[in-house]
A and B are shown apart, each in its own frame.
Chain A
Amino acid sequence: MKNIRNFSIIAHIDHGKSTLSDRLIQATGMVSEKEFHDQLLDSMDIEQERGITIKSNTICLPYTARDGQSYMLNLIDTPGHVDFSYEVSRALASCEGVLLLIDASQGVEAQTLANLYAALEHNLEIIPVINKIDLPSANVDETLVQIDRELGLDIDRTIMCSAKTGQGVDEILEAIVRLIPPPHGNPDGELAALVFDANYDSYRGAIISCRIVDGTVRAGDIIRLMALDAFHKVEEVGKFGLTRLKTSSLSAGEVGYLIAGIKTVSDTRIGDTITQHKKPCAAPLPGFREVKSVVFSSIYPIDADDFPSFADALERYKLNDASVTFQRDSSVALGQGYRCGFLGLLHLEVFQERLEREYDQSIIMTSPSVLYKFTLKSGIELSVDNPHYYPDPSTIETAMEPYIKASILIPERYMGAVMNLCISRRGENSRFNYPTPGRLEVLFDMPLGEVIFDFYDRLKSITQGYGSFDYDLIGYRVSDLVKLDILVNGEKVDALSVIVHRDRARERGVHICDRLQEEIPRQMFKIAIQGAIGGKIISRSTVSAMRKDVLAKCYGGDITRKRKLLEKQAKGKKKMKMIGSVMIPQKAFVAVLKARDE
Chain B
Amino acid sequence: MNNIPTISRSPGLYIHIPICKTRCRYCNFYSRSGVTAELTGTLIECICKEIESARWEPNTIDTIYLGGGTPSVLDPVHLKSILDSVRKRFIVLEPAEITLEANPGDLDSSILQTWLNMGINRVSLGVQSLDDAALRLLGRRHHTEQALTAMAHLARISKEKSEFSWSADVIMGIPNQSQRVYESSLERILTFNPPHLSCYQLTFESGTPLMKTLNRGLIDQLDEETEAIFFSRTQSLLAEHGYWQYEVSNYCSGIDSHSHHNAKYWDHVPYLGIGPSAHSFDGVRRWWIVSDIREYCRRIIEDGEAVEEVELIDSRTMYNERIMLGLRTAWGIDRSMIDASIQPDILNVIKAGLIRATDDRLIPTPLGMAVADSIAGLLIARTYDQEISTRSSC
Residues of A within 8 A of B (CB): 304-305, 523-525, 545-557, 559-560, 562-563, 566-567, 569-571, 573-574, 578, 581, 583
Q: State whether B352 touches A525 (Cβ < 8 A).
A: yes
Docked pose: A570 CA to B320 CA in angstroms: 10
Report the separation of the CA atoms of residues A573 and B388 in the bound assembly, to the nearest whole angstrom.
13
Nearest to A525 among chain B residues (CB) is B352
16 A-B residue pairs with CB within 8 Å: A305-B392, A523-B378, A524-B374, A525-B352, A547-B371, A548-B224, A549-B373, A555-B265, A556-B14, A557-B279, A560-B279, A560-B288, A560-B311, A562-B373, A566-B324, A574-B385
- State whether A554 touches B265 (Cβ < 8 A): yes
Q: Are A574 and B374 in contact (CB under 8 A)?
A: no
Majority SS of interface residues in chain B? Answer: helix
Contacts of B349 in A (CB 8 A): 524
The interface centre, meaning the residue of B228, B317, B324 with most chain A CB atoms within 10 A of its CB, is: B324
How many of chain B's residues touch chain A, expressed as a range? 35 or more
CA distance A551 to B248 in the complex (A): 8
Task: Known contacts A547-B228, A559-B321; decide if A566 and B248 are in contact (CB<8 Å).
Answer: no
CB-CB under 8 A from B377, the residues of chain A are 566, 569-570, 573
Q: What residues on A are CB-neighbors of B266 within 8 Å? A: 554
**Contact between A570 and B384, CB atoms less than 8 A apart:** yes
The 9 closest A-B CB pairs, nearest first, are: A547-B228, A570-B381, A573-B381, A525-B352, A581-B348, A548-B228, A556-B279, A552-B201, A552-B200
Q: How far is the CB of A246 from chain B (nearest CB, A)?
A: 49
Interface string of B193-227 (1 = CB under 8 A from A): 00000001111000000000000000000001101
Name the residue in A525, A548, A551 with the highest tally of chain B Cβ atoms < 10 Å from its Cβ.
A548
- Having A525-B351, A551-B373, one finds 18 other A-B pairs with CB under 8 Å, namely A523-B378, A548-B225, A550-B369, A550-B371, A551-B248, A552-B202, A552-B248, A553-B200, A556-B271, A557-B278, A557-B279, A559-B321, A563-B324, A570-B384, A571-B381, A573-B377, A573-B381, A581-B345
Interface pair B371/A546, CB less than 8 Å apart: yes
Query: Is B370 a contact partner of A556 (Cβ separation < 8 A)?
Result: no
Answer whether A525 and B348 are a contact pair too, CB < 8 Å, given A549-B373, A563-B320. Answer: yes
B249 in contact with A553 (CB, 8 Å): yes
A548 engages B231 (CB within 8 Å): yes
Residue among B280, B370, B371, B384 making CB contact with A574, cutoff 8 Å: B384
Is the beta-carbon distance between A549 and B371 smaller than 8 angstroms?
A: yes
Cα distance A551–B277 in the bound complex, in angstroms: 20
Contact partner, B388, options A305, A553, A560, A578, Cβ 8 Å: A305
Within the assembled complex, what's the spacing in Å between the Cα atoms of A405 and B231?
Answer: 62
- Return B75 CB to nearest CB of chain A, in Å: 25
CA A187 – CA B228 in complex, angstroms? 86
Q: Write the chain B residue with the least CB distance to A556.
A: B279
Given A555-B265, A559-B286, A562-B324, do A547 and B370 touch, yes or no (CB 8 Å)? yes
Contacts of A557 in B (CB 8 A): 29, 273, 277-279, 288
Chain A contacts for B43, CB-based, 8 A: none
Q: Is the CB of B348 within 8 A of A556?
A: no
**At the interface, yes or no: B42 with Cβ under 8 Å from chain A?**
no
Closest to B344 in A: A581
B157 close to chain A: CB less than 8 A: no
Q: Which residues of B line the A interface, CB within 8 A? A: 14, 29, 200-203, 224-225, 227-228, 231, 248-249, 262, 265-266, 271, 273, 277-281, 286, 288, 311, 317, 320-321, 324-325, 328, 344-345, 348-349, 351-352, 354, 369-378, 380-382, 384-385, 388, 392
Cα-based distance from A524 to B351 in the complex (angstroms): 11
Residues of chain A within 8 A (CB-CB) of B317 are 563
Contact B200 A555 (CB under 8 A): no
Contact call B228/A552, Cβ cutoff below 8 A: no
B345 proximity list for chain A (CB < 8 A): 581
Closest partner residue, chain A, to B354 (CB atom): A524
Neighbouring A residues of B354 by C-beta, 8 Å? 524-525
Q: How far is the CA of A34 from the CA of B344 in the complex (A)?
A: 67
Chain B hits for A563, CB < 8 A: 317, 320-321, 324
**B-side contacts of A555, CB under 8 Å:** 262, 265
- Known contacts A559-B286, A559-B321, A574-B388, A550 near B262 by CB under 8 Å: no
- Residues of chain A with a CB closer than 8 A to B271's CB: 556
A594 to B194, CA, bound (A): 57
Bound-state CA distance A525–B265 (Å) is 29
Q: Nearest-CB distance from A303 to chain B (Å)?
A: 10
State in angstroms the CA–CA spacing of A525 and B374 once bound together. Answer: 11
- Known contacts A559-B279, A573-B377, A548 near B388 by CB under 8 Å: no
**Are A550 and B381 in contact, with the CB atoms below 8 A?**
no
With both chains docked as a complex, state the minimum distance between the C-beta of A282 and any C-beta of chain B, in angstroms. Answer: 57
CB distance from A256 to the nearest CB of B (A): 49
Q: Taking A305-B392, A550-B369, A552-B200 as contacts, is the C-beta distance between A524 and B281 under 8 angstroms?
A: no
Q: How far is the CB of B21 from chain A (nearest CB, A)?
A: 22
With beta carbons under 8 angstroms apart, the residue of B278, B321, B374 that contacts A556 is B278
